[in-house]
Amino acid sequence: MWTTFTPKVCLHVNKLAKFGVPADQLDELIEASNKLPNLQLLEGTINNQKRQKMPHEWYVQQWPDVNARQAHLQSQAITSLPEQLNQFMDFIASVRKHCLPALEPHYNPQTA
CB count in 10 Å sphere of residue 8: 8
Residue-wise pLDDT tens digits, 53-77: 778 888 899 899 999 999 988 887 7
Provide, rounded to the nearest whole percent, the portion of the chain with pLDDT above 90: 9
Per-position DSSP letters for 63-86, written without gaps between them: --SHHHHHHHHHHTT-S---SSGG
Provide, rounded to the nearest whole percent, the portion of the chain with pLDDT above 70: 75
Task: Compute the distance between CA of residue 11 and CA of residue 46 in angstroms, rounded to an integer.
Answer: 20
Task: Compute the distance between CA of residue 67 and CA of residue 28 in angstroms, rounded to an integer.
Answer: 33
pTM, entire model: 0.62
Task: Compute the distance between CA of residue 93 and CA of residue 32 in angstroms, rounded to an integer.
Answer: 9
